Structure 1
């Protein structure tokens, strides 16, 4: 079972996300255990203060190291994992990718730290955190929404979470390409038809069509991804064809 601890000042924000759909089912199947921790409970002062003014002046407040260090230390002592990943959600972190999600899905204990205010005391980054993650080049009011995104993308990759273990194999980015187009019934809708290949029943042709359209979509929408891909001879020919069109 994977354990996911979430350090946050607003645990109520997670109730809808963790209590519905696939994330809820993963918990019910005892594949994942979620633990919401309000790190204000670890503050060493009677007012429960977790932030303070930054040294050197400036706008905003900075999260103090003590409550977060004590919370993570306590969670580690209660864990059966010898080396849990401690993940800080922040704009300065590594840009999140499907590859990173696949790596985290192999862990047995993740600890997420969701910050608020102006930022974190730098000692949290230097001496406590193992991974810093950013879900994009923009700033949110806190790390909660980013943590929800990462947790959702990781949990769905854990074996037996999805009804079909093959469901995520051809997702966008799992193959390092964007996913191919999908169609369902009816075969014709308002004059718009499903490609004949998908109706042929020939699985070899269908697989080729999907691979080609996946490559085409990546070429048109995210050509930067192709730089990281070792193309087959067949894919190189398709790319030449796209470039001529």
Structure 2
């Protein structure tokens, strides 16, 4: 997966070189490119903001730098190639055109700003290409990547308090994308015309981490990148652990994960529940399910409204009744 991140604070993303995501980058599972928005400004102060039309406090990020950044990383193309990820979308441009120098602070090992775009990669390999390079840090794609129409355009994700909530389901969906681009807003946000114009040539999602406001989009992007990146095949040491995550599709959908324990079996007089030491896998699974239901009822009761009654068995219903959440409908689960 390729990630492009546009920000006025590129150093914010140095943390993506450590821990699981750092290992994923070094293993070639995650190709991260961070771009400084100020590289697309043309005044001595490298200005990216201005006062809002209509008055009011704060500043708004100017559309010109954002427009030039997106034009460079995802050049406009004709309207005849729909994006297969967005039925009815008007455009599907290829990622070609050289990015301004000095912008990609996290290009993959051995990558250069002069790598050929997808449509000239094969020619460049034979020494016959002389067209401009692709976005900074792009390595020549394989024939399989070139053949995949979904890899020609990124999905642009803009974190904003006014966006729809980002959920685990979004993380799962985004993890299946070949190319994501993040736009980190600051101040009062990005001029709304930027998202409007971008939608004419790529999928655009405006998402929120919750009902609170941050100083900028960088923290939100870090959260989303980690939530998405850990779902990529090969990133986690044990892929099965994803199935037990809170909110994971399947048995844990709309539920919080219950308590977890490790050695020693007794610590400061507090013992691990006997069932977890029993070796009885069925009983352990049932205990974990019960605890997930209880914890969700206690701390996030609104999530229980999303449970499908037909997927609850008699034990589930009994646990929920004890927790004060009787479930209507007939039992159809085993």
In structure 2, list runs of 5 or more residues that go unmatched.
75-94, 97-116, 119-150, 326-334
Secondary structure of the 1:167 match is helix
Which segment is superposed worse, 152-161 or 235-244?
235-244
User: 1:74 & 1:20 partners in 2: Cα distance?
Assistant: 29
User: 1:238 & 1:83 partners in 2: Cα distance?
Assistant: 47
Q: Aligned match of 1:63 in 42, 61, 71?
A: 61
Q: State the shift of 1:46 in Å.
A: 4.8
Match of 1:13 in 2: 12
Q: State the shift of 1:44 in Å.
A: 4.0
Alignment of 1:139-158 (within 5 A): 139-158=213-232
Alignment of 1:1-245 (within 5 A): 2-15=1-14, 17-76=15-74, 77-78=95-96, 81-128=151-198, 130-174=204-248, 175=252, 176-231=254-309, 232-234=312-314, 235-243=316-324
User: 2:56 & 2:289 partners in 1: Cα distance?
Assistant: 53
Q: Over aligned residues, Cα RMSD in angstroms?
A: 1.6
Count of residue pairs the alignment pairs up? 242
User: 1:226 & 1:73 partners in 2: Cα distance?
Assistant: 44
Which segment is superposed worse, 207-216 or 81-90?
81-90
Question: If the length of structure 2 is used for normalisation, what is the TM-score?
Answer: 0.69
User: 1:242 & 1:117 partners in 2: Cα distance?
Assistant: 44
Q: State the shift of 1:169 in Å.
A: 1.3
Question: If the length of structure 1 is used for normalisation, what is the TM-score?
Answer: 0.93
- Structure number with higher helix proportion: 1
1:113-138 deviation digits (Å, cap 9, x = unpaired): 00112221110132225101111111
1:87-125 deviation digits (Å, cap 9, x = unpaired): 111111111111111111111111100011222111013
User: 1:28 & 1:84 partners in 2: Cα distance?
Assistant: 22
User: 1:159 & 1:189 partners in 2: Cα distance?
Assistant: 36
Q: State the shift of 1:57 in Å.
A: 2.2
User: 1:28 & 1:21 partners in 2: Cα distance?
Assistant: 11
Secondary structure of the 2:243 match is coil
1:184-242 deviation digits (Å, cap 9, x = unpaired): 11111222111111111111111111111111111111111111111412311221233
Larger-gyration structure (1/2): 2
Q: State the shift of 1:45 in Å.
A: 3.9
User: 1:59 & 1:243 partners in 2: Cα distance?
Assistant: 46
